[in-house]
């Protein structure tokens, strides 16, 4: 009896901490139409996001690396949104390859940056 009460109490507490829209999901067709509308709006811009500049991990400071991380995350999100607009398979693959290259380059420089502090 006690565990049942605690489970109900935990469920009520958990549900109360969720955003309101989590309690009432929209019908599937309305969600799909909103997604399609957003995709069409983002496809109206025909420019590929520009790759961010990645600082050299040997000389970069904390703020430079933090700003680079934000720029990389933004670039990845913008490119992901743009990918569904690309109809040409070659162009799509090229953008995906570029995404991987930017992420790999940032991770390499971040590792270099962090290594400066490991030996301290």
Predicted confidence (pLDDT) per residue in 94-110, tens digit:
999 999 999 999 999 99
This prediction's pTM: 0.62
Q: How large is the C-alpha radius of gyration of the chain?
A: 22
pLDDT at 8 over 60: no
pLDDT at 28 over 60: no
Rounded percentage of the chain residues whose pLDDT exceeds 70: 60
pLDDT at 83 over 70: yes
Predicted confidence (pLDDT) per residue in 63-74, tens digit:
999 999 999 999
Contacts of 54 by beta carbon, 8 Å cutoff, 6+ apart: 68, 72, 102, 105, 106, 109
Helix runs in the chain, H state only:
2-17, 28-43, 62-83, 89-118
């Amino acid at each position: 009896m006690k565990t049942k009460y605690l489970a109900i109490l935990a469920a009520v507490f958990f549900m109360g901490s969720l955003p309101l829209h989590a309690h009432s999901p929209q019908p599937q067709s309305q969600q799909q139409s909103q997604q399609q509308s957003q995709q069409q709006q983002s496809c109206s811009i025909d420019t590929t996001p520009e790759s961010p500049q990645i600082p050299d991990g040997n000389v970069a400071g904390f703020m430079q690396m933090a700003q680079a991380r934000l720029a990389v995350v933004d670039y990845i999100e913008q490119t992901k949104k743009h990918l569904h607009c690309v109809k040409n398979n070659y162009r799509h693959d090229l953008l995906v390859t570029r995404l991987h290259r930017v992420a790999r380059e940032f991770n390499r420089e971040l590792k270099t940056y962090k290594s400066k502090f490991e030996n301290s």
